[in-house]
Amino acid sequence: MKLNNKYLVFIQLSTMFFLSGGNVWAAEAPMICAVTQAIACQKGEDCQSGSTTASEMPVLLRINPGKNEIVSKKENGEKKTSTIKQTTMDDAGRFVIYQGVEPGGAWSTVIDKTTGSMTISVAAGENDAFIIYGTCSVSLLKP
């Protein structure tokens, strides 16, 4: 799956927002997330699904909720930093939701604190959308 470069920025920024909290993760604990799949959709066309390598998107994300900072890293070593604009939780306290706005679009990330499962949705302009899946872990960063 080959995506337009201008939309890769949205994927890159959106894949940087992830999880904390619950019994396993502390609310401000830094975490690492691996992006496993991306789906790109254009209005009026079929969606395309692919791996992170095929879509040229970041493969790893380091999230620091305490600093509202997310750093993404591509396989070629390229890094990008973004800011989490809003953090909320569902009423049951199971899901952490991160949201943000970047030039030309907006993103929302949902992390299941019980499993580390991550889903990101990105609205990129009037005609493009992305769904990104991955998994997050706090324990991998512990010494």
Mean pLDDT of 81-87: 87
Q: Are 97 and 88 in contact (CB under 8 A)?
A: yes
pLDDT in tens, 37-78: 889 899 999 999 887 666 667 788 888 888 898 788 888 888
CATH fold label, 5-138: Lipocalin (2.40.128)
Work out the pLDDT band at 16, boundaries 50, 70, 90.
very low
Q: Round to whole Å and give the CA distance between 22 and 87.
A: 15
User: Any idea where the domains of the chain sit in the sequence?
Assistant: 5-138
Which runs of E-coded beta strand occur in the chain? 31-42, 48-50, 60-64, 69-73, 79-83, 86-89, 95-102, 105-112, 117-124, 128-137
- Cα–Cα dist 106/57, whole Å: 17
pTM for the full predicted model: 0.74
Instruction: Find all residues with CB under 8 Å of 46, minimum gap 6, and list them.
Output: none
Distance from C-alpha of 134 to C-alpha of 114, rounded to nearest angstrom: 14
Q: What angle do CA 111, 75, 136 make, to 5 degrees?
A: 15
- Tell me what the pLDDT averaged over the chain comes to: 77
